[in-house]
Amino acid sequence: MSLDTDTSQQTAGRWDADAHGWFGGEGAWGGRFMPEALVAALDELTAAWTEAMADKAFTDEFAAALRDYAGLPSPLYHATRLSERVGCRVLLKREDLAHTGAHKIRNVLGQALLTKRMGKKRVIAETGAGQHGVASATAAAYFGLDCTVYMGAVDTRRQALNVARMKLLGSQVVPVETGSATLKDAINEALRDWVANVDHTAYLFGTAAGPHPFPSMVRDFARGIGDEARAQCLAQYGGLPDAVAACVGGGSNAIGMFAAFLEDTDVALYGFEAGGDGVDTPRHAAPIHAGDSGVLHGARTYLMQDEDGQTIESHSISAGLDYPGVGPQHAWLAASGRGTYRPVTDTEAMDALSLLARTEGIIPAIESAHAVAGALRVAEELAAEKGPEATILVNLSGRGDKDMGTVMEYFGLGDDETTTAKGHEK
């Protein structure tokens, strides 16, 4: 695919969506494949978001909420022991330290503030493992909004602790029994609610996917990750990293990070998809690597589908990456070659989780462990090519508290005889 060499004044124009939500030119990626019943609401949302982002009162209030409530900006941390191990500098953007434990608080505070500005009193959200649901419930409590979270029935059983958190925060949790009873079905059910209640309800979409304007809007609410990290890199290390790495499910943390570096053509962008049992098996969640283009949840993107265009269920040890599609801007970055997307298997991610815990005293979310695993491979390549001064910036998008059940089971940490994680014994 050739790059658009348009002459618009916006420098980010090539990577950004047009007015209809197309990335990479009309008909390429993204767009808005949605029922007519929701078009007016999506247009209203697009207009409100565009207007809000140009209004200093809104951006100031958003910045204040991120600072005073969510504890941001997050630090940029030089992981020295990990760096020694791979032979070049590894920097971690510590989104795991944000309120509720992940970058997701940025997006929900932005969307909930916009909801308030639009005069709507109710929000709905979908959630897989419950992280976006907990973040949405948190933002709803913060802004005094009524909140309903749709969650696949399989997931409500797997993630009882997060269900309890959402309830404690005052939200209603609706188990979704239809389809595969997981994240994609929760999105379907949230869309059905939205169609019926669109006049007074906002849909807090959890990732940079879906119909226009969600891919662009969620990216913009999350792009503080990259803007902060870029400034921190320059201030703390006097230059930009050679590479930036993030995990990609729907892709909000990754696009929030990448957005700041798109025009820095010397900075390589790496997205790591969930490889599950391996992309040579049917059990993975790597639509860019192993899927084809199609339309899911309102956008043309890469997705996991069968010969008839029916969505295939994804599989990953990480619930947050367990989604058969991906945000359309990632599809465009991949197709254009600006971004490099690789799969990381469950095993590789869990090894990296264990490694980071032991070498740095940081237990990452399993999602973020995919970024760490992939970044370590890239770091070794960089070290070989450029030496110890090479730098890779990794988005540590969330912390691992929520995953301890999975981690205990995976490493057998609850077993009487086991005293160490078996992930990477020498």
Among the residue ranges 39-47, 244-252, 354-362, 365-373, the one whose residues contact other proteins (CB under 8 A): 39-47
Of 27 and 414, which has the nearer Cβ to other proteins?
Answer: 27
Binding track over 40-59 against other proteins, x by CB under 8 A: xx-x----------------
Is 422 considered catalytic here? no
20 is a contact residue toward other proteins (CB under 8 A): yes
- C-alpha–C-alpha distance, residues 258 and 242, integer Å: 13
Among the residue ranges 8-16, 45-53, 227-235, 309-317, the one whose residues contact other proteins (CB under 8 A): 309-317
- C-alpha–C-alpha distance, residues 373 and 275, integer Å: 12
CB 135 → other proteins: shortest distance, Å?
A: 23
122 is a contact residue toward other proteins (CB under 8 A): no
294 is a contact residue toward other proteins (CB under 8 A): yes
307 is a contact residue toward other proteins (CB under 8 A): yes
What angle, 0 to 180 degrees and rounded to 10, lies between the N-to-C axes of helices 346-360 and 366-386?
A: 80
Is 348 considered catalytic here? no
- Asked whether the bond before 364 is cis by omega within 30 degrees of 0, the reply is no
Is 126 considered catalytic here? yes
Buried b / exposed e over 257-268, threshold 16 CB at 10 Å, is bbbbbbeeeebb
Q: Could you tell me which of 100, 101, 97, 77 has the C-alpha nearest to residue 89?
A: 77
34 is a contact residue toward other proteins (CB under 8 A): yes
Of 190 and 240, which has the nearer Cβ to other proteins?
Answer: 190
120 is a contact residue toward other proteins (CB under 8 A): no
Q: Which strands sit side by side in the sheet containing 243-248, from one edge to the other?
A: 76-78, 89-94, 391-396, 243-248, 268-276, 339-345
- C-alpha–C-alpha distance, residues 378 and 267, integer Å: 13
68 is a contact residue toward other proteins (CB under 8 A): no
- C-alpha–C-alpha distance, residues 252 and 314, integer Å: 18
Among the residue ranges 143-151, 179-187, 345-353, 362-370, the one whose residues contact other proteins (CB under 8 A): 179-187
CB 126 → other proteins: shortest distance, Å?
A: 12
- C-alpha–C-alpha distance, residues 93 and 228, integer Å: 9
Among the residue ranges 81-89, 189-197, 262-270, 350-358, the one whose residues contact other proteins (CB under 8 A): 189-197
* Residue of 83, 120, 126, 360 marked active site: 126
For 101, list phi and psi in degrees, rounded to 5: 95, 10
Q: Who contacts 238 (Cβ-Cβ below 8 Å, separation ≥6)? A: none
CB 305 → other proteins: shortest distance, Å?
A: 6
- C-alpha–C-alpha distance, residues 284 and 366, integer Å: 15
Interface residue with other proteins among 3, 12, 37, 404 (CB under 8 A) is 37
Of 165 and 300, which has the nearer Cβ to other proteins?
Answer: 300
Measure CA of the first residue to CA of the last residue in the chain; give whole Å. 45
Compute the chain's Rg from CA coordinates.
Answer: 20
Among the residue ranges 56-64, 186-194, 400-408, 409-417, the one whose residues contact other proteins (CB under 8 A): 186-194
295 is a contact residue toward other proteins (CB under 8 A): yes
For 399, list phi and psi in degrees, rounded to 5: -100, 165
Q: Which residues are catalytic?
A: 104, 126, 397
Residues binding other proteins (CB under 8 A): 20, 27, 31-41, 43, 178-179, 184-185, 188, 191-192, 195-199, 294-298, 305, 307-311
